[in-house]
Homo-oligomer: A and B are copies of this chain.
């Protein structure tokens, strides 16, 4: 019966994601989650030990999604700057399309301010950024006066802000998400000139054009 159990678990996670996304961790009652897709309370507590546990599972899935995307991009592109830009696009797209992604973002945003166990929200993205920027410097793509730690901190925080703006930009998320598909593209348009060399910038503009985006 593993197969059925697996499907049940999936249903629970998705129902929970939708509820957490719109109500937040504390605002989402298990009753809401359970009622939404005719799950039983028993089923929920069979698969997850607690509400906290359920939330962590969602965040874990979100992290896995991001990690997979990062790994994928790194294996396909040697140039670190390109990985950074495409990663941000990819994440932005997942934000628009995947409820679990959005739920995860909201959950970590709320949790770290409370006394949660160990879900570091910004740090992980900032860490990745830092690594990638170090590579980019080695590839001579960065302007000489860019300070890597501070640049990584800024970029990750700005991306977080954009994600949030993207996830719940206006009253009802769905409409807002359609309206601003290119908010991340906007970011790079204004930030890239202050960070990368002119040559790199024109290369990235070309890449963007290839992918149907305007930089």
Which chain A residues have a beta carbon within 8 Å of chain B's beta carbons?
Answer: 22-24, 26-27, 106, 109-110, 112-115, 122-123, 146-147, 150-151, 153-155, 157-162, 164-165, 167-171, 173, 180, 182-183, 186-187, 189-195
Known A157-B158, A193-B193: A186·B151 in contact at CB below 8 Å: yes
Interchain CB contact under 8 A, B186 and A195: no
Q: How far is the CB of A200 from chain B (nearest CB, A)?
A: 14
Where chain A touches its partner, the secondary structure class is helix
Interchain CB contact under 8 A, B24 and A154: no
User: Which chain B residue has the least Cβ–Cβ distance from A167?
Assistant: B113
A123, A155, A191 interface centre (most CB from chain B within 10 Å): A191
Q: Which residues of B contact A153 (CB under 8 A)?
A: 165, 180, 183, 186
- Bound state CA distance, A178 and B121, in angstroms? 19
User: Which chain B residue has the least Cβ–Cβ distance from A145?
Assistant: B189
- Bound state CA distance, A180 and B149, in angstroms? 11
Interchain CB contact under 8 A, B171 and A158: no
Copies of this protein in the assembly total 4
Q: Which residues of B contact A146 (CB under 8 A)?
A: 190
* The residue from B169, B171, B182, B190 contacting A195, defined by CB atoms under 8 A apart: B190
Known A187-B154, A194-B190: A109·B164 in contact at CB below 8 Å: yes
* The residue from B27, B157, B183, B194 contacting A191, defined by CB atoms under 8 A apart: B194
* The residue from B154, B155, B162 contacting A157, defined by CB atoms under 8 A apart: B162
* The residue from B157, B170, B189 contacting A165, defined by CB atoms under 8 A apart: B157
Q: Which residues of B contact A23 (CB under 8 A)?
A: 113-114
- Give the 8 A-B residue pairs with the shortest CB-CB distance, closest first: A161-B161, A26-B26, A193-B194, A158-B158, A113-B168, A190-B194, A157-B165, A150-B186
